[in-house]
Each structure stands twice: as structure tokens, then as C-alpha cells.
Amino acid sequence: MEEFLKKFDQEQWKGTRNPTKQQTSDLRLNGWKLGRGSHAHNGPKFFDWFKAHCKVNASIHKALRQLSYGFSRRVSTYGCYDINGYRFRSEAYEKTRVGLWTTNCGVCVSSFDENYNLLEYYGVIKDIIKISWEGSMQLELVIFECDWFDPTAIGVRCTENIGLVEVKHSSRLSNFKPFVLASQVKQVYYLPYACNSRQDLSEWWVVYQVTPRDRLLPVDSSIECDETRALTEDIMFFQEEGLEGSFVIDLGVDLDNSAPKMRRSFRHRLGHGVSEDYVPTESTENGNCSNNNDNNEIGLTEEGSQRKKRGRTRPKRPPPGQQIPIKLLGEE
């Protein structure tokens, strides 16, 4: 189709300079304005030009030829539509459903301005429309009719260093361009700030991007009312059994400078799950330490003296600042 658009622009543009993007868009939608005053009229629009071109050119693909016939005046509307791993719903549809756990009417589409700066348009779906073309081939197109927030700094503010995007829910796009292809949008949802007393926050919603799913559940009223629970039960979760490699703990000088009455426990992984515990405990009035653990453990006084229980010797205390390599379970 791009080659026909370029051919139309070359034939119908009468200006001495190359047209801007806005002039090209006006030319395709309204045609070139001819004459002045009461004799002023417009040349053919792109659709009329393309339809006439298909009648005299037999080499045009049959799908493009069918497009030139125009689409049916009867269209279909839907409350839900699944595409690109998203489930979209119109705002009107969600208002009529009781017990929905999610909101699926927020959309985002990327575009570029005349200076090729990226613009993100955020909006809310008002209606989901399917258009069908007349002819032997089944040609259909799904579009979303949306209310768009103002994409400029008036309606959207971004804090790039923390990835925060906010929209002013009272702002609206100035020009009338409500429609967008369903295949072009991403799904978002909006959350208001919990603090309603602050005027600078109450006017703004925080934008959250939705991650597309590989598989969506069938659209069913019983499932939609408890969508969160159904999705949780239907998805397999994976978690690693253990970590690979080793790491080092630096005990540091602060270990010796800590309060004497603070209880600390250090565990060394040895071999296959065998451990030895070194537990300093609170000092007693006579300078000895009490220990509430099993009788096989070792008690220490503040001065560093030791008391053996059942013949076991105290494990050696590492000097301040020494680094102790830790072996993970099952590691050779």
C-alpha cells in the first residue's frame, strides 16, 4: 500500500515545496484544494483515487482490490478482545461486570512527532470495534476507540531516574483522533495515590505496564469474576533448589566492639550439612556465661574463659578481620 500512497502524493500535490507531514495527511484525507472563492473545490481523496486506480489496473492484488470496495456499514462491537498476549476490555463493559479483580481498559501506544521525538500516548478504551470488508475474502480489522490523555508535559510527567510515569486524569488530547489499531497498543493500568489530601498528587495517576502472557484463559463470566485465583492455579511456578558457587563473610573489627550482652550466633557450613555452632551468651554475676542451648554447646565468659560440657572443646574463635570462606551444601 505504501507505493500507492507515494504515487498519490506525487500526482496530487501541487505545491512548489515538499509537503510536511501535516500537509501530506490533509492531502490524503481531503484532497488538494482547487480554485478560490465560490469555485473552490477539492481534488480526489486517496480512497477515491485508489478505487479508480484499481478499476483500470488488473495487476493489483485481489486483497487490495477488495479493500477499494470499502467496508460494510454494519460493524461489530465487543466488550473483550484478546491480542498479543493481552486481554482488553472496554471501560463500559467493566462498569457492567460485578466482581472483576482486574482492570483491562488502559492502553499505551508509541508515536513520533514532527521532530522525530518519541511520544507515548496513554488512554482508556471506550469501545472495541471490528470492521469487515465486502467481498469474497474475509478481511477484518479490529480497532479501539479511546479517550486519550494529553501526551505533552501538561498531561504526562516522567521521572526517568526511577522509571515513574504519571498521567493527569483530567487532561485530554486536543485533536479528535480516537481510533487506534488493536495490534499496535500495549496494556497499562492506572493507580491513584493513596493520599487524597495533597492536591499535587490527587490529580495524577501512576502508570503500570502489563506484561503480556503466553496463554490466556477462555473468556467466561465465572472465570472473570475470580480471574486472579484462576490464573494462579493455572500457572506453574519454578524455584531453584540451591545456589551455585561460594561466598566469603568478613567478620570485621566491629564483631569485637559489639555490646557484650548481645547474643550472636555464627554457623559454619562443613561437609554435607554438618554444622558447629559458636554462641556467646549473656554474662552472669560471677563472670561465667549461661547457655540455653543443648548441653553439647560451649559457654564463654566476657573475658574469653571457657567451660567445657561433656568433654567437647570450644571451636577456635577467628581473629578480628579474618575472612572465612563458606562452602555451600553439596559443594566439593
Mean pLDDT for the stretch of residues 63-87: 90
Mean pLDDT for the stretch of residues 124-130: 95
Per-residue pLDDT tens over the stretch 40-73: 667 889 989 998 888 888 888 888 888 888 888 8
Among residues 146, 174, 163, the alpha carbon closest in space to that of 207 is found at: 163
Per-residue pLDDT tens over the stretch 180-212: 999 999 999 999 998 878 888 889 999 999 998
Domain identity same for 47 and 92: no
Look-up of cell digits 477462555: 218
Domain identity same for 205 and 84: yes
Among residues 135, 140, 3, the alpha carbon closest in space to that of 59 is found at: 3
- 147, 224 Cβ separation under 8 angstroms: no
| Model pLDDT, residue 275 | 43
Domain identity same for 253 and 323: yes
Task: Quote the Cα angle for 50-56-59, to 5°.
Answer: 85
For the ranges 84-88, 302-306, 326-330, the lowest mean pLDDT is seen at 302-306
Domain identity same for 215 and 97: yes
How many domains is the chain partitioned into structurally?
A: 3
Domain residues for the domain of 22 are 2-68
Amino acid (1-letter code) at residue 159: T
Residue 331's pLDDT band (cuts 50, 70, 90): low
Domain identity same for 62 and 106: no
Domain identity same for 225 and 268: no
3-state helix/strand/coil string of the chain: CHHHHHHHHHHHCCCCCCCCHHHHHHHHHHCCEECCHHHCEECCCHHHHHHHHHHHCCCCCHHHHHHHCCECCCCEEECEEEECCEEEECHHHHHHCCCCCCCCCEEEEEEECCCCCEEEEEEEEEEEEEEEECCCCCCEEEEEEEEECCCCCCCEEEECCCCEEEEECCCCCCCCCCEEEHHHCEEEEEEECCCCCCHHHHCEEEEEECCCCCCCCCCCHHHHCCHHHHHHHHCCCCCCCCCCCCEEEECCHHHCCCCCCCCCCEEEEECCCEEEEECCCCECCCCCECCCCCCCCCEECCCCCEECCCCCCCCCCCCCCCEEEECCCCCC
Which of 18, 33, 68 is a domain's end point?
Answer: 68
Domain identity same for 15 and 162: no
Per-residue pLDDT tens over the stretch 214-272: 766 666 544 444 443 333 333 333 333 444 444 455 555 554 554 454 444 444 444 44
The Cα–Cα gap between 205 and 207 comes to: 6
To the nearest whole number, what is the mean pLDDT of the chain?
Answer: 74
Mean pLDDT for the stretch of residues 162-171: 92
Domain identity same for 225 and 270: no
Q: Is it the case that residue 37 has pLDDT exceeding 90?
A: no
| Model pLDDT, residue 314 | 62
Domain identity same for 123 and 60: no
Which of 209, 234, 259 is a domain's end point?
Answer: 234
Which of 22, 44, 68 is a domain's end point?
Answer: 68
For the ranges 26-30, 78-82, 83-87, the lowest mean pLDDT is seen at 26-30
Per-residue pLDDT tens over the stretch 261-310: 444 444 444 444 444 444 444 444 444 444 444 444 444 444 444 444 45
pTM of the model: 0.59
For the ranges 17-26, 101-110, 281-290, the lowest mean pLDDT is seen at 281-290
Q: List Cα–Cα distances, 60 to 52, 55, 70, in angstroms.
A: 12, 9, 16
Mean pLDDT for the stretch of residues 173-182: 89
Domain identity same for 162 and 261: no
| Model pLDDT, residue 55 | 86
Domain identity same for 206 and 332: no
Mean pLDDT for the stretch of residues 164-177: 89
Domain identity same for 186 and 320: no
